Structure 1
Amino acid sequence: MTETTTTQSRAHGVGLTDAAAEKVKTLLAQEGRDDLRLRIAVQPGGCSGLIYQLYFDERSLEGDAVVDFGGVEVAVDKMSVPYLDGATIDFEDTIQKQGFTIDNPNAEGSCACGDSFH
Structure 2
Amino acid sequence: MTTIASGDTTEMPTHEVLLTPGAAEKVSTLLTQEGREDLRLRVAVQPGGCSGLIYQLYFDERVLDGDSVRDYDGVEVIVDRMSVPYLSGATVDFEDSIEKVGFTIDNPNAGGSCACGDSFH
> CA deviation digits over 1:61-101, x for unaligned, max 9?
10000000000000000000000000000000011110000
> Aligned to 2:32, what secondary structure does the other structure show?
helix
TM-score, structure 1 length as denominator?
Answer: 0.91
Aligned residues: 109
> How many angstroms does 1:11 deviate by?
2.4
Out of 12, 17, 23, which is 1:14 matched to?
17
| 4+ residue segments displaced more than 6 Å | none
> How many angstroms does 1:21 deviate by?
0.3
Task: State the alpha-carbon separation in 2 of the partners of residues 91 and 71 from structure 1.
Answer: 17
Out of 57, 62, 65, which is 1:59 matched to?
62
Out of 81, 93, 97, which is 1:94 matched to?
97
Instruction: Identify unmatched segments of 5+ residues in structure 1.
Output: 1-9
> How many angstroms does 1:114 deviate by?
0.5
Corresponding residue number in structure 1 for 2:117: 114
Corresponding residue number in structure 2 for 1:72: 75
Task: State the alpha-carbon separation in 1 of the partners of residues 67 and 79 from structure 2.
Answer: 6
Instruction: Identify unmatched segments of 5+ residues in structure 2.
Output: 1-12
Q: Percent identity?
A: 78
Corresponding residue number in structure 1 for 2:26: 23
Give the counterpart letter for 1:30 in structure 2. Q
Mapped pair 1:44 → 2:83: no
- Name the structure with the higher strand share: 2
Task: State the alpha-carbon separation in 2 of the partners of residues 15 and 32 from structure 1.
Answer: 25
TM-score, structure 2 length as denominator?
Answer: 0.88
